Amino acid sequence: MIWKDIKSIDTIQDIYASNDTYILFKHSTRCPVSSMAKRNLEHDKNLIPEETVIYYLDLIAHRDISNAIADLWKVRHESPQLLIVKGDTCLYNASHSDIEMQDIIPFIS
């Protein structure tokens, strides 16, 4: 599993314009529930291929990008939040304790 930081709205717009499937993880560095969700994903990383990229958004540093994600994919902002998107469609959306690595598997195989 490879974490890839999202640091610009351009990255989100490129993902939105693509026809590939992307995994986005929105994380609040100040929230213990968010830290637990991230730890759980890291703990279960062996369930997915090693080269799987998960795009990581630090919500504290980039709330504007989080707002753009909510607007583009028509999902309510949550923290933590995991989205699987393809083009302009959000295929999957989970937040808080519902975030589990096993739910990612069907979208990457």
Reply yes or no on whether the pLDDT at 60 is more than 80: yes
Count of structural domains within the chain: 1
pLDDT confidence band for 90 (50 / 70 / 90): very high
Give the CATH number for residue 41: 3.40.30.10
Instruction: Return the H-helix or E-strand segment holding 84.
Output: strand 81-86
Sheet holding 2-5, edge to edge: 2-5, 53-58, 21-27, 81-86, 89-95
Which of 68, 106, 74 minimizes the C-alpha distance to 90?
Answer: 74
Strands 81-86 vs 21-27: parallel, antiparallel or unpaired: antiparallel
pLDDT 10s digits, 13-58? 999 999 999 999 999 999 999 999 999 999 999 999 999 999 999 9
The pLDDT > 70 percentage for the chain reads: 100
Domain encompassing residue 47: 2-108
